[in-house]
């Protein structure tokens, strides 16, 4: 793949085109807007002027967001009719030059470099770019020993594809910036991940872009391609059930509005941002309080901070497969274009996203987001009253929610990331796992042939689907009606009835404990029943309850690796399901600023060792949702979506139910059959 070269004349032309036609420039920018294509071009020009080197690569370019107090000050001064000028725009740029990582802050308003420093790599290396992964994946086909190995296996090399895998860290004092390459056979199917070519190991030095290690140690059969093709056009009878897509009744009025990247829907307003490392960022989410006649802030900033995926095969060919999908591969960089009517319903609106490629030029992801009202047939609230004589009263309100969706495809796995806003004040965070299993080719075709541990499930001939975990850690800077918040653990405690005249022997009650420090807030969920609430201790409801938002956990899973195992040292932020830290702009990434080959010295777990005070402070809630995945045959050759999630739900935030007076526009009634009616 040839590198893209931009001459000064072309650069000027591109910039003039963006200035003329970019719709983003027609609107006054929000201080949390993602960087625009024209800004990426500016940044590239500024960096190349300061570093006139031909071998400089852009590993990460993202918004260097203003300090929180600056954004909130700007927001408080802005009105719907008159916008206050946004604070100066800055970008964080991470480049690779002469085998060194440079961390640079660029001021776009002055077109100058504010700061620059060299990162020594002790705590890890920068995000891998798509271009360098592509270059590395092509190197085996120019390597004569690899070509001979493929011929020895009787495979058609034109049907072989290779993919790079991060190498992790396993105690090395110093290491080069490398990728390990695995290869797959596509003859007869595009489902390449289920046809691994085993026994061949390659290591590529990314700075030199050359193969530095090669071995061919053994041969096992390549799993068959029959029955693994997933393209609809390639399927043959007999077919499964015919499913009819659910119709969406579109109102004559749009259900939500967009102003730049600010979204207004029902009683919600929030900002939608994008970053090459995390993808979706939700900021300044506020809900309108009908009783108080104002918007009240709930969430300052929320995003997936890291996704840790360790595989459970400790053999020489697999032990290193312990991936950090945000910090190593870029979750936003891995976002794919969403398909109308399949990824998203007919009433969805789409938004594009941009990031800087390895050469600094903007790369467009069309339809990176879809936003839609979901009419899922759920009930917002209902009650049927039959106690009143001669009356039956039924009141039902259908639930309509707003969904912001992104899909990231990191190698074999597809991750569906949804932010769901409800008129009740809840924010539900949902994740769907689908795609293709990571498999190992083996000699076995029946389970009774297996004579040693295989670290997974035999799902087809010569195919082991390897056991693994998924841990998604969310960064949730909750501002419950203001920045000063506390974390309260409401424990359900069983007590014995002391009154001998009462026949009951026991009951449970709530005992509240406010976390004073970070250590107080660390939690393994599922051990004891409790309610976890972020409260504003400075504000109370009329009856006197502190206003708050409750964390309603989803599936509870924690790491099963030993604490001194190298992947777990790097992924120590998964040790607890819940962490709470004081707000710090620099503490965004649970796995550290630099994750590739990181050593665990800059993670959420290490920050929390300071045991800072968190009571009545501006705090950040970190929540990890985990999945232990022992694959089964139904997951092969394509995995049906496995869903999980959690919810942030108002708790004494409102004076009464916020959905009592919710109104819905009823669609035109169509008589439907009653299946129990007999003719």
SS3 50: helix
Give the mean model confidence (pLDDT) for residues 98-106: 96
Predicted local distance difference test score (pLDDT) of residue 557: 92
- For the ranges 9-18, 155-164, 344-353, 667-676, the lowest mean pLDDT is seen at 9-18
The predicted structure's pLDDT at residue 245: 72
pLDDT band at 244; cut points 50, 70, 90: confident
For 483-492, the pLDDT digits (tens) are 999 999 999 9
How many other CB atoms are found less than 10 A from the CB of residue 671? 5
- pLDDT at residue number 14: 41
Q: How far is CA 80 from CA 83, 262, 263, 481, in A?
A: 7, 12, 13, 20
pLDDT at 15: 39
Q: Is a pLDDT exceeding 60 seen at residue 678?
A: no
Find how far residue 464's CA is from the centre of its chain: 27
pLDDT tier at 115, thresholds 50, 70, 90:
very high
**pLDDT band at 85; cut points 50, 70, 90:** confident
CA atoms within 13 A on the CB side of 16: 6
- The average pLDDT across 295-323 equals 97
DSSP, collapsed to helix, strand or coil, labels residue 90 as: strand
> Do 37-119 and 260-651 have matching folds?
no
SS3 state of residue 491: strand
| Whole-number pLDDT of residue 3 | 37
Of 16-20, 72-76, 457-461, the range with the highest mean pLDDT is: 457-461
Contact 273, 281 (CB under 8 A): yes
- CATH class as words, domain 260-651: mainly beta
pLDDT at 556 over 50: yes
Alpha-carbon distance of 308 to 323, in angstroms, equals 6
Q: How far is 107 from 111, CA to CA, in rounded Å?
A: 6
Dig out the tokens for 116 from the structure: 């620059």
Measured over the CA atoms of residue 212, residue 216, residue 220 and residue 222, the dihedral's sign is: positive
pLDDT at 252: 55
Residue 249: pLDDT band with limits 50, 70, 90: low
Task: Give 17's pLDDT tier (boundaries 50, 70, 90).
Answer: very low
Phi then psi for residue 491, to 5 deg, are -90, 135
Domain boundary assignment for the chain: 37-119, 260-651
Catalogue the active-site residues: 325, 413
Q: Looking at residue 529, what is its pLDDT?
A: 78
The answer to whether residues 623 and 644 touch, using CB atoms and an 8 Å cutoff, is no
How many whole angstroms separate alpha carbon 362 and alpha carbon 26? 19
Is the pLDDT at 134 greater than 80, yes or no?
Answer: yes
Give the pLDDT score at 86.
86
Q: Percent of the chain scored above 70 by pLDDT? A: 92
Say if residue 544 is exposed, middle or buried (CB neighbours under 10 Å; 0-12, 13-18, 19+). exposed
Quote the pLDDT of residue 528: 83
Mean pLDDT score, 513-538: 94
Measured CA to CA, the distance from residue 362 to residue 61 in angstroms comes to 10
Query: What is the pTM assigned to this prediction?
Result: 0.93
d(CA 427, CA 623): 14
Q: Where are the beta strands (DSSP E) in 530-616?
A: 530-540, 546-552, 578-582
- What is the predicted pLDDT for the residue at 166? 97
Phi, psi of 546 (to 5 degrees): -70, 135
d(CA 180, CA 540): 56
Q: What is the mean pLDDT of the chain?
A: 92
pLDDT of residue 84: 75
Report pLDDT for 665: 74
At the topology level, CATH places domain 37-119 in Nuclear Transport Factor 2; Chain: A, (3.10.450)
> Residue 126: which pLDDT band, with cuts at 50, 70 and 90?
very high
Q: Is 523 strand, coil or helix?
A: strand
**SS3 track for 128-185:** CCHHHHHHHHHHHHHCHHHHHHHHHCCCCHHHEEEEEEECCCCCCCCCCCEEEEEEEE
For the chain, the 3-state helix, strand and coil shares in percent, each to the nearest 5, are 15, 40, 45
* pLDDT tens by residue, 215-239: 999 999 999 999 999 999 999 999 8
Is the predicted pLDDT of residue 74 greater than 50, yes or no? Answer: yes
pLDDT, residue 664, reads 79
More confident residue, 248 or 256: 256
Q: In the predicted model, is pLDDT for residue 7 greater than 70?
A: no
Q: What is the pLDDT of residues 588-606, one digit of tens each?
A: 999 999 999 999 999 999 9
Four-residue CA torsion sign, 265, 270, 274, 279: negative
Q: Quote the pLDDT of residue 80.
A: 52
The 10 Å CB-count burial string (b at 16+, else e) for 317-350 is bbbbbbbbbbbbbbbbbbbeebeeeebbbebbeb
Per the CB < 8 A criterion, the answer to whether 351 and 371 are in contact is: yes
The DSSP element (H or E) to which 408 belongs, if any, is strand 393-410
Phi and psi at 554, nearest 5°, equal -100, -145
């Amino acid at each position: 793949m040839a590198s893209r070269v931009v001459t000064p004349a072309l650069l000027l032309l591109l910039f003039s085109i963006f200035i003329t036609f970019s719709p983003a420039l027609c609107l006054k920018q929000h201080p949390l807007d993602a960087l625009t294509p024209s800004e990426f071009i500016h940044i590239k020009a500024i960096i190349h002027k300061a570093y006139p080197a031909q071998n400089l690569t852009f590993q990460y370019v993202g918004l260097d967001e203003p300090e929180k107090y600056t954004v909130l000050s700007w927001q408080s001064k802005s009105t719907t009719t008159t916008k206050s000028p946004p604070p100066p725009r800055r970008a964080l740029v991470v480049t690779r030059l002469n085998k060194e990582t440079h961390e640079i802050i660029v001021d776009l308003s002055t077109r100058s470099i504010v700061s620059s420093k060299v990162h020594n790599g002790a705590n890890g290396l920068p995000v891998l770019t798509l271009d360098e992964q592509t270059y590395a994946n092509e190197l085996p086909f120019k390597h004569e020993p690899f070509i001979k190995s493929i011929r020895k296996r009787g495979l058609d090399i034109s049907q072989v594809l290779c993919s790079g895998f991060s190498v992790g860290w396993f105690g090395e004092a110093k290491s080069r910036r490398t990728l390990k390459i695995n290869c797959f056979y596509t003859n007869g199917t595009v489902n390449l991940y289920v046809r691994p070519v085993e026994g061949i190991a390659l290591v590529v030095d990314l700075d030199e872009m050359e193969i530095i290690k090669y071995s061919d140690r053994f041969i096992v059969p390549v799993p068959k391609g029959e029955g693994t093709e997933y393209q609809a056009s390639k399927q043959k009878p007999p077919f499964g059930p015919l499913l009819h897509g659910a119709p969406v009744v579109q109102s004559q009025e749009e259900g939500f509005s967009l102003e730049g990247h600010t979204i207004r829907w029902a009683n919600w307003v929030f900002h939608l941002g994008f970053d090459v490392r995390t993808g979706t960022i939700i900021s300044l989410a506020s809900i309108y309080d009908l009783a108080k006649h104002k918007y009240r802030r709930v969430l300052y900033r929320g995003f997936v901070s890291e996704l840790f995926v360790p595989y459970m095969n400790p053999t020489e060919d697999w032990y290193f497969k312990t991936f950090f999908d945000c910090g190593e591969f870029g979750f936003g960089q891995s976002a794919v274009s969403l398909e109308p009517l399949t990824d998203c319903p007919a009433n969805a609106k789409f938004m594009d996203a941009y990031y800087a490629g390895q050469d600094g030029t903007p790369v467009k992801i069309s339809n990176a987001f879809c936003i839609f009202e979901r009419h899922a047939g759920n009930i917002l609230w209902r009650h049927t009253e039959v106690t009143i004589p001669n009356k039956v009263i039924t009141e039902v309100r259908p639930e309509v929610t707003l969904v912001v969706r992104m899909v990231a495809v990191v190698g074999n796995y597809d991750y569906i990331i949804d932010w769901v806003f409800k008129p009740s004040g809840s924010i539900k965070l949902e994740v769907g796992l689908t795609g293709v299993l990571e498999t190992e080719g083996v000699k076995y075709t029946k389970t009774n042939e297996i004579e040693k541990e295989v670290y997974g499930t035999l799902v087809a001939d010569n195919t082991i689907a390897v056991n693994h975990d998924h841990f998604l850690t969310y960064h949730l800077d909750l501002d419950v009606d203001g920045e000063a918040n506390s974390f309260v653990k409401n424990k359900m405690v069983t007590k014995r009835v002391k009154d001998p005249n009462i026949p009951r022997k026991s009951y449970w009650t709530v005992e509240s404990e406010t976390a004073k420090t970070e250590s107080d807030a660390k939690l393994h969920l599922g051990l004891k029943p409790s309610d976890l609430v972020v409260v504003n201790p400075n504000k109370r409801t009329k009856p006197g309850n502190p206003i708050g938002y409750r964390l309603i956990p989803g599936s509870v899973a924690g790491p099963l690796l030993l604490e001194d195992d190298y992947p777990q040292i790097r992924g120590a932020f998964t040790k607890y399901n819940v962490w709470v830290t004081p707000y710090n702009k620099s503490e965004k990434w649970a796995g550290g600023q630099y994750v590739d080959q990181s050593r665990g010295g800059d993670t959420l777990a290490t920050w929390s060792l300071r045991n800072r005070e968190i009571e009545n402070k501006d705090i950040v809630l970190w929540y990890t949702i985990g999945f232990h995945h022992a694959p089964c045959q139904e997951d092969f050759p394509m995995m049906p979506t496995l869903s999980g999630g959690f919810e942030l739900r108002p708790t004494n935030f409102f004076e009464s139910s916020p959905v009592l007076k919710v109104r819905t526009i009823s669609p035109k009634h169509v008589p439907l059959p009653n299946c129990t009616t007999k003719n």
